[in-house]
Amino acid sequence: MGKRSRKDNFWVWRADHGAGVGWYINTTKNGIIVNGDHVTLYALMVEHFHEYQTVWNGEHGRTYFYQSEIPYDVPNQVSWMSHNGTKNGFAFYKVADHVNYHETWGMGIYSYFRDAPVKLHSAVESPIKQGVRHHNTSEFEVLEYVPGDQRPTYHIPELPTPGVVQVGKGSYAVNDIKLAQPRQPKYVTQNVSVPIPSNDWWTSVSYKRLSDGIVALPLRFEYFDTGLGMFYASPIFTAPNNGGMDTKLSNMDLFINTGSIVRTPEARVDGFGDWSVDVVFSDDGTPKMRNTIIKGSPYVYSTFTDPNSVEISSPAIVGLFDDNRCEAELGNSGRQEL
C-alpha cells in the first residue's frame, strides 16, 4: 500500500471452512502488508491467513477500528509457530520492530481453534516505543467444550410480574452508573412539604445554591450572588436558535437584590404551583427577599424583610423614565434613587 493514502472498509478474508478448502489446500501467508508511510485505514477486517494477519512496516500509520480472527483450521501447534519456532502462533497485528510511530484505536481480536488445542503467544506484536500506542484493544478466545471441563451453572431469574404502582409508592433505581439520577431538592424552605417536580422550568432552584436559567417567557431569570437577574427575551436572543433560547446566557438587563444580605446567599423554593414558583433569597434562611415568578407574565412580584434595603442595578441601562416618559437624571455617582 502506497504512502500518504487513506482507505475505508477493507475486508480481507481467506476461506478456512467450507467445501474445497483446508490448511494445506488454499495456502496463504499474510492478509495485508503496509509498506508506505502516513497510511490511515478505517474499518480494517483481516481474517484466517496462515501467518501474521496484518504486517505494518511504514511510519506514522493509523488504524481506526480493526477486527481480526485467527484461522479455524490450524491442524496442530507445530504447524503454527513464529519467531523461528520459538513462539506459539502468529499475532493478528504486527508492527515491525523498526517502526517508531504507529497508533491504533478500537481493535477487536478473537480466535476459535476448531481442529486442535492450539495456543497463541500474543495477539498484537509491536515495539515498545513512546510513539507506538494502541487504544482500546480487546482480545477474545473461544474454546470448544471438552468432556470433563468445568461447566458453570448460571441462574437466570424470572422476569418480574407486571403490576400497577400507586402514586407515591414508587421508587428510584439507584447505583446504576448508566442511569441519570434525580437530583436531591436540597434548597427548599420548611414551607415545602410535598414532592418536587424533577424537570420543571424552575426545578434547578431546588438543587443548586442559586439556579440555572429560569425561562418564564417573556422574561428569563437566573439567581446570582448579586441577586435575581432577568432580561426580556426579545427576538435578538431567540432568532439565532430558530426560536429557542440558551438558558446559560448571562447578559442580564436588570438585577434585584437586598442590601441586608452580608454573607453568601442561597435561593430556596418556598412554594410552587402549576404556573408559578416562590423563591426566598437570603443568607440566613429568613425571607430577606422573596420573589414570585409567573410563567407567561412580564412581571416579577417581590417582597423584602427590610424595604429600605432594596437594590436595583443594571449593567445595560443607559437611561430611566418616569410614568410620564420623562427621562430621569442620574447623579454624579451614576445612581438614581427610585
pLDDT digits (tens, 9 = 90+) for 82-92: 999 999 999 99
pLDDT, position 114: 86
Residue 139: exposure state from Cβ atoms within 10 A (0-12, 13-18, ≥19) = middle
Block residue for cell numbers 500509520: 61
What size, in residues, is the chain? 338
pLDDT at 191: 94
Among 65-74, 102-111, 246-255, whose mean pLDDT is lowest?
246-255
Confidence (pLDDT) at 141: 65
For residue 163, what pLDDT band results from cuts at 50, 70 and 90?
confident
Q: 96 pLDDT exceeds 90?
A: yes
Residue at a domain's end among 112, 142, 172: 142
Are 133 and 20 members of one domain? Answer: yes
Q: Please state the rounded mean pLDDT for residues 51-72.
A: 95
Domain assignment of residue 159, yes or no: no
User: Is a pLDDT exceeding 70 seen at residue 245?
Assistant: no
pLDDT of residue 184: 85
Residue 195 lies in a domain: no
Q: Is residue 280 part of a domain?
A: yes
Q: What phi and psi values does residue 34 have, to the nearest 5 degrees?
A: -110, 115
**89, 116, 142: which is the final residue of a domain?**
142
Q: How many CA atoms lie within 13 A of 184 on its CB side?
A: 2
What's the pLDDT band for 332 if we cut at 50, 70, 90? very low
Question: Do both 99 and 208 map to the same domain?
Answer: no
Whole-number Å distance between alpha carbons of 230 and 227: 10
Say if residues 270 and 276 touch (Cβ distance below 8 Å). no
The closest alpha carbon to 74, from 90, 58, 56, belongs to 90
65 within 8 A of 44, measured Cβ to Cβ: yes
Residue that finishes a domain, picked among 142, 167, 196: 142
- Cell numbers found for residue 205: 432552584
Q: In sequence order, what are the residues at sequence separation of 6 or more whose Cβ sits closer than 8 angstroms to the Cβ of residue 187?
A: 205, 206, 207, 208, 209, 266, 267, 268, 269
Above 80 in pLDDT, residue 238? Answer: no
Give the pLDDT confidence of 107-156 residue by residue, as tens digits.
988 888 888 889 999 999 999 999 999 998 887 666 667 788 888 888 88
Predicted local confidence at residue 218, as pLDDT? 86
Averaged over 187-194, what is the pLDDT? 93
The candidate with the shortest Cα–Cα distance to 75, out of 18, 16, 32, 34, is 16
Q: What is the average pLDDT across 260-283?
A: 95
Average pLDDT (312-323) is 78
Indicate whether 313 and 216 sit together in one domain: yes
Instruction: Determine, yes or no, domain membership for 190.
Output: no
238 and 323, same domain (yes or no): yes
* Winning range, highest mean pLDDT, from 5-9, 28-32, 217-221: 28-32
Task: Give the distance, in angstroms, between the CA of residue 184 and the centroid of all CA atoms in the same chain.
Answer: 21
Mean pLDDT of 160-179: 74
**186 domain-assigned:** no
C-alpha cell at 310: 432594596
Sheet holding 310-313, edge to edge: 214-215, 219-224, 227-232, 254-258, 310-313
**Confidence band (pLDDT; 50, 70, 90) for 334?**
very low
Q: Which domain holds residue 271?
A: 204-328
| Alpha carbon separation from 250 to 32, 211, 241 (Å, rounded) | 56, 12, 16
| Rounded average pLDDT over 225-243 | 71
Percent of the chain at pLDDT > 70 equals: 86
Predicted TM-score of the model (pTM): 0.45
211 within a domain of the structure (yes/no): yes
Q: Give 286 or 164, the one with higher predicted confidence.
A: 286
pLDDT of 100: 96
6 pLDDT exceeds 90?
no
Cell output for 93: 497485528
Instruction: Say yes or no: 126 and 208 in one domain.
Output: no
Domain count within the chain: 2
Look up residue 260 and give its three cell numbers. Answer: 441586608
